[in-house]
Structure 1
Amino acid sequence: MMENLAVYHGPIGKEEGERRLAQDGRDGCYLVRNSDSVSDVFCLCVLCKGFVYTYRLQKDAAGSWAADTSPGVQKRYFRQVKNLIAAFQKPQQGLAMPLLYPVTAQVRAQTHTEQHMAGDSLSPTNSSQNSYLQQQSPKAAKGQKNRKKTEAMQACR
């Protein structure tokens, strides 16, 4: 099921999810993680202009998947999460930003290895990303807390 999805990061928590997206840094990068607060619910997280927008992914009784999108956008159901992701790669689907750049488990494993090799910082070859992270991570976290309710779009906590 979810474990077979390349962008699924497991129970990493909101802060770690935001950190991983800020590390990529591109508008439209995205990942899927477990919800911190609701069991059997997953979160689709996407970076847009330094802010992380989080949408709940839920499976209904019939086994179809849907994402909680912007108010006024009709909920769409998909047999598989990969089909849902493919649909949200197009603009104007009810997300803050189309899903453009997957942050995959392979990237996660590589980053994890680099961090252990270089202590707590990124490897020297990624020093420009490291400075970007220092600038963006607090902004992303601050933006998550300060968004208006209408922009929150049912964020997972």
Structure 2
Amino acid sequence: MLLQYSVNTNLLKGVFMESIYYGKISKEVTERLLERYGKDGSYLLRDSESVAGALCFCVRKAPFVHTYRIEKSQRGWAVETVSGSNPEYFQSVSKLVECYRAKTPRNMEPPLYPLDKDKLSEEALQSIGPSYWEI
């Protein structure tokens, strides 16, 4: 049985972005994936569970998985920041990820290693909880 991902092609373009975008998975599944198959600095993108149209940029730094919300405004895509600080805007999610990999803001864990879903076996994906995946 093949897993189906809800990739929004308007948001994520290119093979690299599609390989790190896991679609509509829960926070719990994200944590299990990054704990079992990642290392410090491993990251992935998923849909936000609480904000429609937003994404979550999830980065592992043991013992935690840090989650940063990415939202689009008229100025572009930005990681949600603490009040009082100015976010940096990007034309695409791909540019945002590329920039943050090269130079990570001080208040963020560095995203170093993409957790490529295409390199995980179907058995590995199913083992973390098939009921969470859209099939």
Partner of 1:112: 122
- Report the secondary structure of 1:96's partner residue: coil
- Unpaired stretches in structure 2, ≥5 consecutive residues: 1-9, 129-135
> Aligned runs of 1:1-157 on 2, under 5 Å?
1-4=10-13, 5=17, 6-62=19-75, 64-69=76-81, 73-107=85-119, 110-114=120-124, 120=127
Q: Is the 8 A contact 2:12 2:93 kept in 1?
A: no
Identity of aligned residues (%): 33
State how far apart, in whole Å, the 1-side matches of 2:23 and 2:43 are.
Answer: 14
1:2–1:112 Cα change, 3 Å: farther
Q: TM-score, normalised by structure 2?
A: 0.73
The total of aligned residue pairs comes to 115
- Unpaired stretches in structure 1, ≥5 consecutive residues: 122-157
Aligned AA (2:78) = A
1:104–1:76 Cα change, 3 Å: same
Structure with the higher fraction of residues in strand conformation: 2
CA deviation digits over 1:57-114, x for unaligned, max 9?
A: 001135x11012456653100001111011111354144321100012313xx33235
Q: Is the 8 A contact 2:12 2:94 kept in 1?
A: no
Structure with the higher fraction of residues in helix conformation: 1
State how far apart, in whole Å, the 1-side matches of 2:62 and 2:82 are.
Answer: 17
Q: Is the 8 A contact 1:25 1:47 kept in 2?
A: yes
Over aligned residue pairs, what C-alpha RMSD do you find? 2.3
Larger Rg: 1
1:38–1:92 Cα change, 3 Å: closer
